[in-house]
Amino acid sequence: MSSAASDSRRASSPDIADFLAEAIFAGEYEPGDFVPKELDLCERFGVSRSTVRSALQTLVAAGLLTRISGQGSRVRALQEWHLLDPRVSSWMARFAQPNPRIQREIFAFRVAVEPYVARLAAEHATAADLLAIESAHEGMIRALEHDDLHWQGISHNDYDVAFHEAIFAASHNLVWAQISHVLKPAIALLVEKSNHSADELNDSMERHRRVMEAIRLRQPQRAAKAALAVLERTGRDLGLEELIPSIPAIEVPSTVATTSDKEAS
């Protein structure tokens, strides 16, 4: 076989790791199930055993599979998956929509974390941070004015994700900022699934505006409440609103309210 033909074959070869990840995230293989054996995957995809082993090892390294000598590769429990691994987070965004448990877990994380992060943003946001938040919000609004929900080549959903990412960055906490980057695909998953009709989108935009205004006016308590209101809308759209009262939020130490919070109350 010529070098060019070999390169063409490699380029068209299926990504077996992606194929298996999609099946696992969609629930076709539940925790405890074995995925197809190496030889079966070789025959199905027409690839070498070393190619299959490499794909399986990718999933092992990501925490999705464990190799059992003489038996095969078994799906691990969800809590053992490396969800903060960028590739796993990407798989989650691309493949997890049919998986209600994963959606619930992502939503529960956001309910616990985002009000606290919004509070930090109200305390620490710089002018550059505010510009990023306001620009993302404007993008969401402008995108709604177009039939294809795009403005300046960017979709409404992408502006929505950028809005939340900018708030994490405005917390000026290294850990929260990094978490927003690795969870960006997971947040995008819920944003895409929860944005529906025009009325729902308009209500959501008003809730986002209140978060932005509370951060701009240095009102931490109001920012936290407004962030929770955004998630209440998301929960309603996802059919998960009953989870909100049962999810423990990150507790904020009891401190004297800021002047702006007092004036707003």
CATH number reported for the structural domain that contains residue 61 in this entry: 1.10.10.10
Say yes or no to pLDDT of 156 above 50.
Answer: yes
Identify whether 133 is part of a domain.
yes
Q: Are residues 237 and 133 in the same domain?
A: yes
Query: How far is it, in rounded angstroms, from Cα 105 to Cα 159?
Result: 23
Confidence at residue 102, expressed as pLDDT on a 0 to 100 scale: 79
Q: Are residues 140 and 227 in the same domain?
A: yes
Confidence at residue 98, expressed as pLDDT on a 0 to 100 scale: 65
pTM value is 0.75
Q: Are residues 72 and 111 in the same domain?
A: no
**DSSP SS3 for 33:** coil
Q: Are residues 50 and 119 in the same domain?
A: no
Ranking 24-38, 116-130, 173-187 by mean pLDDT, the lowest is: 173-187
Q: Are strands 150-151 and 65-68 parallel, antiparallel or unpaired?
A: unpaired
Q: Are residues 72 and 102 in the same domain?
A: no
Identify whether 262 is part of a domain.
no
User: C-alpha 212: how far from its chain's center?
Assistant: 20
Tokens of 35: 């995925």
State percent of the chain over pLDDT 70: 85
Q: Are residues 201 and 155 in the same domain?
A: yes
Highest mean pLDDT among 73-87, 96-110, 158-172, 234-248: 158-172
Beta bridge partners of 135: none
Exposed, middle or buried by CB within 10 Å (0-12, 13-18, 19+), for 192? middle
Identify whether 130 is part of a domain.
yes
Ranking 46-60, 86-100, 108-122, 186-200 by mean pLDDT, the lowest is: 186-200
Q: Are residues 118 and 171 in the same domain?
A: yes
Identify whether 253 is part of a domain.
no
Whether 150 and 159 have beta carbons less than 8 Å apart is answered as no
Counted domains in the chain:
2
Identify whether 265 is part of a domain.
no
Q: Are residues 121 and 21 in the same domain?
A: no
Exposed, middle or buried by CB within 10 Å (0-12, 13-18, 19+), for 72? middle
Owner of token pair 């995008």:
188
Identify whether 7 is part of a domain.
no
> Domain range spanning residue 132?
98-246
Say yes or no to pLDDT of 262 above 50.
Answer: no
Average pLDDT along the chain: 85
Query: Dihedral through CA 230, CA 236, CA 240, CA 246, nearest 10?
Result: 60
Q: Are residues 160 and 197 in the same domain?
A: yes
Q: Are residues 116 and 220 in the same domain?
A: yes
Q: Are residues 25 and 104 in the same domain?
A: no
Identify whether 3 is part of a domain.
no
35-66 pLDDT, tens digit per residue, is 999 999 999 999 999 999 999 999 999 999 99
Confidence at residue 12, expressed as pLDDT on a 0 to 100 scale: 43
Q: Are residues 105 and 73 in the same domain?
A: no
Strand residues in the chain grouped as ranges (E): 65-68, 72-75, 150-151, 154-155
